[in-house]
């Protein structure tokens, strides 16, 4: 599993997980240390999640309630702004 973040003029390092991402790992490694820091470091940051199970747990949802959310287009995943990054990196 890979997690990444982009904005108009910045990006974070891709976070690669060799194993399955559990809700606890998602919260402690991604949400707490990467997502919130990245969003707070840019102006007008908006978070978009892909509705995978780990980021949609109750604990994670409580934490990300403080940030603006961009809805995930379930039937149009290719419209997510970060999808080309994953395609390029293979």
The per-residue pLDDT for range 15-37, each reduced to its tens digit, is 787 777 777 777 777 777 777 78
Element (H, E) at 65: none
- Per the CB < 8 A criterion, the answer to whether 89 and 6 are in contact is no
- Please report the pLDDT score of residue 49 as a whole number: 67
Could you tell me what percent of the chain has a pLDDT over 90? 0
53: CB partners within 8 A, 6+ apart: 23
Query: Is residue 26 packed enough to be buried (19+ CB in 10 Å), middle (13-18) or exposed (0-12)?
Result: buried
Whether the model clears a pTM of 0.75, i.e. scores above it, the answer is no
pLDDT in tens, 50-82: 666 555 566 666 666 766 766 666 666 566 666
Mean pLDDT of 40-59: 67
pLDDT at 77: 59
Q: Alpha-carbon distance 38 to 56, whole Å?
A: 19
What Cα–Cα distance (Å) separates residue 57 from each residue in 8, 24, 88?
Answer: 28, 9, 29
Residue predicted with more confidence, 11 or 90: 11
């Amino acid at each position: 599993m890979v997690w990444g973040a982009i904005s108009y003029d910045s990006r974070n390092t891709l976070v690669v997980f060799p194993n399955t991402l559990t809700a606890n790992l998602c919260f402690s490694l991604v949400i707490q240390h990467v997502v919130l820091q990245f969003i707070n470091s840019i102006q007008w940051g908006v978070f978009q999640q892909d509705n995978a199970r780990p980021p949609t747990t109750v604990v994670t949802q409580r934490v990300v309630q403080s940030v603006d959310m961009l809805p995930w287009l379930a039937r149009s995943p290719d419209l997510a702004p970060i999808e080309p990054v994953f395609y390029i990196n293979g």
